Structure 1
Amino acid sequence: MTRHRLRRSLLAGACGLALVASLPTSASPAPRAAAPGAGASPAASDAASATKRWTTKNATALGTGGAVSSVDPEATHAGIEVLRKGGNAVDAAIATAAALGVTEPYSTGIGGGGYLVYYDAKSRKVSTLDGRETAPASIPRDVFIDPETGEPYPFTPDLVTSPASVGVPGTPATWERALDRWGTLSLRQALKPAERIARRGFVVDDTFREQTLQNKDRFAQVSTTADLYLPGGDAPAVGSVFRNPDLAATYDALGREGTKIIYKGRIGSDIVRTVQSPPKTADATLPFPKGYLEKSDLAAYSVVKHKPTKVRYRGLDVYSIAPSSSGGSTVGEALNILKTKKLSTLPRTEALHDYLDASSLAFADRNAYVGDPAFVDVPLKTLLSKGFARSRACAITDRALPTPTDPGALDGSGCTTAPPVGRNDTGTSTSHLVTSDRWGNVVSYTLTIEQTGGSGIVVPGRGFLLNNELTDFTPVYDAADPNRIEGGKRPRSSMAPTIVLKDGKPVYAVGSPGGATIITTVLQTLVNRIDLGMTLPEAVAAPRASARNTAPPAGSPAGAGAVTAAEPEFIEAYGDQLEALGYVLTPSGDSFTLNAQIGAVAALEFRKGGRVLAVAEPVRRGGGDAEVVRSR
């Protein structure tokens, strides 16, 4: 029996399921504001209830005994209560993630996938789990091509609301695998806080309503989704209480029977039936291209354990996730390029110039070389080598690198390049969380259902949205593209859950949602903290720009410059200086981005005396929430 299973057995013997099932719903040892309850509607209403709900958001918290940071106070509190009852960082991470599936259903849930990075304090080793979704085995190469036009379906809204875009969910298997390997709680125990939130409801905030309204047109074309999220034809009102009893029952069944109920059982059958025959409304106008998911695809799914990526940067060891995600390799390559620069001694504009160009160069290489390693020979060792970084850094001059630039030659021969391949993935949703415990274990976990609202399809009677993760494949098949569509393959991701060590001990844990901007958000946060002298809260709050080797818009004049998406605050602060260097700064945002914001970081910083600084976004996506077990 492993030490984790032994400890779980002892805990269960002493406390039984009450360890988590009886977590208090009243004030915790560090009470925070809670909203009054509401009525008995299955979705949203305003009737009074005595049940306490967690609504106050704290952007920072400093203390000991463990910490949690996420985008939502209900989810953060669920993780903290697990820590207070004796659970470890993995237990808290799964409890937090499950709660996010209730309160952040448009970003994450058991219909999606993700990547988990874990630091074990006893062994001082970093491990990872790849819980990315996979394509159905029978998926055709032209799945995203409209047979009537011969052209790709419009990305929005056709592909994002499509059974053809649904991959095999990996999140439930990730939760079970992480708890089995490193946790002390059973899956049933870890899911109990989220189940309770789904039954008694959470308070609707501005972000939840706005995201619902952003998706109103497509949600209205799926009967189960409209019934849940558009009661009476409108999004739930701010301040009302949203309940999801179907999801509560799903969590209960998943906890009692394990993930076999999804991968080999009746919930899996419901998923397959929904993909093959989506519950469209009678007046639906979207094409709903055919989905190819089969029961055999669910049965064949497995979580993959990869060695983490690792680069050395300013005396720190930066660990992240390896392919199938491009997050760890691209952040790592960019840091290696920046290591050739002395950012801390440069004027801010010059430091930002180096950051932006390093990011563009790394993205060029990501697009050309990174895909699912089960299908593609990814040159990961080369991409993360110092020699390759030097061969790319020589392309950075005192002027902006025009984009798109070509990828680097893998032989590292000077500044020569290879032909361009691939595209930038555009998904914008996802959620990230970080946890730590009293023993020093740390989790950095990013999970998603892809676009905000995923596929827009709620599984009947189950209360969760299915992903549209297969839109991360390049839509037009190209045998030279590492991200080409293939059956059983994981689409390339940008998720970059990261843990930074010094002398074998954790210093930072960081990650973000945001599609391809995840990579630049994590990179910029690290540069802000490590190189530019910002505190961690300042590094998280600072305005962002995301250089992803983007081509100029159609019709732009030749030599339009380095096209870079940036938040309005970034443009206001640095636009004139950077445009003088040749950058073309464009306001970030699309139909699935909230208020033109880039990313939503959750991070931890580990200090002397066992103290942990937990940091969440103060503003982006409505602000996040950070909490510690004991404030100090």
Structure 2
Amino acid sequence: MWQAALLILLLPSVVPAADEQAVPRPAAQAIASAHPLATRAGMQILDAGGNAFDAAVAVSAALAVVEPYSSGIGGGGFWLLHRASDGKQVMLDGREKAPLGARRDLYLNAQGDVVPGLSMDGGLAAGIPGEPAALVRLAEHYGRLPLDQSLAPAIRLAEEGFPVDGHYRAMARFRLTALRRFPAAAETFLSKGEVPAEGVLIRQPALAGTLRALADKGRAGFYAGEVARRLVEGVRKAGGIWTLDDLKQYRIIEREPVSFSYRGQRIVSAALPSSGGVGLATMLNILAGYSLDQLEPAERVHLVVEAMRRAYRDRAQYLGDPDFVKAPLSLLMDTRYADGLRASIHPQHATPSRLLPGTASLSNGTDTTHFSVLDREGNRVAATLSVNYPFGAAFIAPGTGV
């Protein structure tokens, strides 16, 4: 689903890394995520002897429980890793994939027109999830603790529930009509068909069961067996086209991160199909030509906005899934290319949008979340997770919580 992958935020994951040999081990460990319960889950794993990769499993799974409008086990993401022991840097590409039966006219009617909502709500809108496979890969190839231990905090949150806050209410209100259409989703995320009040506990016992199957059986606990059967059955009854082969064939891809320099610092960021690393390189290469610290705040903001607009224009025009689209990366990340873009920026006037063709409308990031983890050994994780639209397809396959 490269098209959905382009919806990732411009700055999905950035790990500054100057001279790796000279970077000392941190004196403390840290986690930053969008929800305190997810941060707490990760800290519990670090305190139990896990490393940053174990904590990333815990945070990812916990966010899937407490931020269902931004990420989920039914979604995917990118995990940018730095392993301190050998300096290995890699990006786990765990984005969703289109079912094998997908075709270019999947969301069109007989007249060739787009059917409103068909690509956003329900079983036909659902891609093959990548997050469960990514959590298994993190635990088995990079973590120190068993998967079931790292998933335990999320399982507990799903069973015991988490309190609704104002942001949850806003997202549920935004997707209320779609959530009401699908009984399992309405029962899970709403209160008698309405947006739940603040403080109401959202319990997800079916999701807890799916997470437990993943914890007990690893990849086979999700992509095969009873969970897989229920997923396929639920999606197909809701008009989707999943098959058991779709789940069986899903694979995580390890990709080489994007790396570039900015003002003497080496920056490592996400590779395609995330557009973040390339976009960040373009933007910073443009800004490198300015003495930003000597400018007034309004001037700085203007230049940053203009640089970002050009990076986003290039994202919409050139970037895609590298397995299917050949992007001109060497050009887009070349400082000489940035020189030309910089020359098109007027220091006092914004560039009219009509002079930046190829841009697409973008969401405000309510369907995406990011977190970062640093442990005392110097291992680091920067992850961006998404379900592409608030509450994803607003659909849950009965009996799975997904």
Whether TM exceeds 0.5 here: the answer is: yes
Structure 1: gaps of 5 or more residues? 1-62, 279-289, 407-419, 465-632
> Is the Cα contact below 8 Å between 1:320 and 1:327 reproduced in 2?
yes
Q: For 1:89, which of 41, 52, 66 is the aligned residue? A: 52
**Who is 1:78 aligned against?**
41
CA distance in 1, matches of 2:315, 2:254: 21
Instruction: Quickly say closer, same or farther: Cα 1:158–1:301, change in 2 above 3 A.
Output: closer
TM-score, length basis structure 1? 0.57
Structure 2: gaps of 5 or more residues? 1-25
**Who is 2:64 aligned against?**
101
> Is the Cα contact below 8 Å between 1:361 and 1:405 reproduced in 2?
no
Alignment of 1:221-260 (within 5 A): 221-260=181-220
Q: For 1:405, which of 355, 366, 371 is the aligned residue? A: 355
**Who is 2:115 aligned against?**
153
Instruction: Quickly say closer, same or farther: Cα 1:297–1:395, change in 2 above 3 A.
Output: same
- For 2:352, the aligned partner's letter is P
- For 1:368, the aligned partner's letter is Q
Shift of 1:292: 2.6
SS at match of 1:292: coil
CA distance in 1, matches of 2:52, 2:206: 28
Alignment of 1:619-630 (within 5 A): none
CA distance in 1, matches of 2:322, 2:99: 17
Deviations 1:543-564 (A, max 9, x none): xxxxxxxxxxxxxxxxxxxxxx
> Is the Cα contact below 8 Å between 2:83 and 2:378 reproduced in 1?
yes
Q: For 1:384, which of 330, 333, 345 is the aligned residue? A: 333
TM-score, length basis structure 2? 0.88
> Is the Cα contact below 8 Å between 1:276 and 1:291 reproduced in 2?
yes
Instruction: Quickly say closer, same or farther: Cα 1:171–1:210, change in 2 above 3 A.
Output: same
Alignment of 1:500-539 (within 5 A): none
**Who is 1:69 aligned against?**
32
CA distance in 2, matches of 1:421, 1:293: 33
**Who is 1:612 aligned against?**
none
Q: For 2:380, which of 442, 461, 476 is the aligned residue? A: 442
> Is the Cα contact below 8 Å between 1:367 and 1:424 reproduced in 2?
no
CA distance in 1, matches of 2:362, 2:95: 15
**Who is 1:340 aligned against?**
289
RMSD: 1.8
Deviations 1:155-202 (A, max 9, x none): xx5532132221110001111111222110122111111111111222
Q: For 2:270, which of 301, 321, 325 is the aligned residue? A: 321
Deviations 1:29-87 (A, max 9, x none): xxxxxxxxxxxxxxxxxxxxxxxxxxxxxxxxxx9531111111211111111111111
SS at match of 2:253: coil
**Who is 2:318 aligned against?**
369
Deviations 1:554-581 (A, max 9, x none): xxxxxxxxxxxxxxxxxxxxxxxxxxxx
Alignment of 1:589-604 (within 5 A): none
Q: For 1:359, which of 308, 322, 326 is the aligned residue? A: 308
CA distance in 1, matches of 2:93, 2:302: 33
- For 2:50, the aligned partner's letter is G
**Who is 2:3 aligned against?**
none
CA distance in 2, matches of 1:405, 1:184: 52
Shift of 1:424: 4.3
Deviations 1:422-469 (A, max 9, x none): 7345464111111111111111111111111110001101112xxxxx
SS at match of 1:124: coil
Aligned identity (percent) is 36
- For 1:89, the aligned partner's letter is A
CA distance in 2, matches of 1:359, 1:117: 22
Instruction: Quickly say closer, same or farther: Cα 1:378–1:462, change in 2 above 3 A.
Output: same
CA distance in 1, matches of 2:388, 2:124: 14
Runs of 4+ in structure 1 displaced over 4 angstroms? none
Shift of 1:421: 4.7
Deviations 1:494-549 (A, max 9, x none): xxxxxxxxxxxxxxxxxxxxxxxxxxxxxxxxxxxxxxxxxxxxxxxxxxxxxxxx
Q: For 2:398, which of 436, 460, 465 is the aligned residue? A: 460
**Who is 1:616 aligned against?**
none
**Who is 1:293 aligned against?**
242
> Is the Cα contact below 8 Å between 1:205 and 1:239 reproduced in 2?
yes
SS at match of 2:149: helix
Instruction: Quickly say closer, same or farther: Cα 1:463–1:214, change in 2 above 3 A.
Output: same
Q: Of the two, which has the highest radius of gyration?
A: 1
Deviations 1:106-151 (A, max 9, x none): 211110000001112233342211111111222111222233x532
> Is the Cα contact below 8 Å between 2:231 and 2:400 reproduced in 1?
no
Deviations 1:228-265 (A, max 9, x none): 22232223321222221111111111110111232233
CA distance in 2, matches of 1:163, 1:436: 37
**Who is 1:423 aligned against?**
360
- For 1:452, the aligned partner's letter is P
CA distance in 2, matches of 1:188, 1:76: 18
1:183 aligns with 2:143: yes
CA distance in 2, matches of 1:404, 1:93: 42
Deviations 1:186-235 (A, max 9, x none): 22111111111111222222222332222221111111111222232223
Give the total of aligned pairs. Answer: 375
Shift of 1:373: 0.7
Which has the higher relative contact order, 1 or 2, with Cα contacts under 8 A spaced 6 or more apart? 2
CA distance in 2, matches of 1:333, 1:200: 45
> Is the Cα contact below 8 Å between 1:311 and 1:336 reproduced in 2?
no
> Is the Cα contact below 8 Å between 2:279 and 2:311 reproduced in 1?
yes
CA distance in 1, matches of 2:178, 2:376: 45
CA distance in 1, matches of 2:186, 2:70: 17
Alignment of 1:542-557 (within 5 A): none
1:276 aligns with 2:214: no
**Who is 2:157 aligned against?**
197
Shift of 1:387: 1.8
CA distance in 1, matches of 2:229, 2:386: 22
**Who is 2:123 aligned against?**
163
- For 2:92, the aligned partner's letter is L
Identify the range of structure 1 (111-120 vs 395-404) with the bigger mean alpha-carbon deviation: 395-404
Structure with the larger strand share: 1
**Who is 1:432 aligned against?**
370
- For 1:128, the aligned partner's letter is M
Structure with the larger helix share: 2
**Who is 1:473 aligned against?**
none
**Who is 1:308 aligned against?**
257
CA distance in 2, matches of 1:326, 1:75: 26
> Is the Cα contact below 8 Å between 2:118 and 2:125 reproduced in 1?
no
